[in-house]
Amino acid sequence: MLSGSHFGTEIWTKVLEETLRGTSLDKTVKSLASHGCKISHSSLFFMRHKIMLALEDMQVEQPATVEDVVEADETYVPESKKGTKFGPDASRKPRKRGTPASKRGLSDEQICICTAVQRKTGDLIVKSENRARPSSANVVDIYTGHVQKGTLFLTDGMNVYPRLGKILGITVMNVKKESAGFFNLNTVNNLHSFIKRRYTEYRGVATKYLNRYNLVFRAAYRQRTTIGELAETLFASRNPKKVHHYGDVKELNLLAI
């Protein structure tokens, strides 16, 4: 994690803390400067993405799982090409940050984030794979290996979930057809509000990096461990196969949709 870095664990821990808090890069640069650490925007970008790549490595080694009673739903964020230079052959004209999509409602300008939250523990899965509404193949790919057999999967009734139930051996229930207070999506809706707030605080996220940030949202929402404990886990690895370089930040596991 710290391979080749000019900064020690104290600065890296501060960057990790600001990343989980949803602080923009510009504000983090100013925050570090107030603590006597001068760091460029590009260097901080690289550090933040090395942290996110380390979170990806943790996800591979210890995949997220949910069971018992789980609420599942989708939320959507506008497509973003933040940091991309638009040439004459670009698919659309650049737009200012915060400008709404040109198409009304749910369209291919909206990127889907599939989410599932276990009620009792708060364990969750957050991943993007498609524009607009996900297909049944998308949800099967996202949740396979992450949802335990026998789980009660509460959804909003979208027709892509029944196939998931048959494949994973779980009970999928449409809460819109139920009137009892138990059958609701309040927990996952709370997660969606959290993601939208963080998305705004980051001043948008380039779509190609969205799944990296989805893991940040997951880590920040759960907040099972202290910043120090998480930092110790991320920074202690000495596996030479897990050393990420600048090229990895620009090319590794990008969301291509």
Q: What's the pLDDT score for residue 140?
A: 96
The structural domains of the chain, ordered by start, are 9-63+209-251 (no CATH), 69-80+105-200 (3.30.420.10)
- Which helix (DSSP H) or strand (DSSP E) does residue 57 occupy? helix 41-61
Residue 223, pLDDT > 70, answer no
Residue 102, pLDDT > 70, answer no
Q: How confident is the model at residue 128 (pLDDT cuts 50, 70, 90)?
A: very high
Residue 138, pLDDT > 60, answer yes
The encoded tokens of residue 21 equal 């808090």
Q: How confident is the model at residue 114 (pLDDT cuts 50, 70, 90)?
A: very high
The encoded tokens of residue 156 equal 């909003």
Report how far residue 249's alpha carbon sits from residue 56's, in angstroms, rounded to the nearest whole number. 12
Q: What's the pLDDT score for residue 246?
A: 78
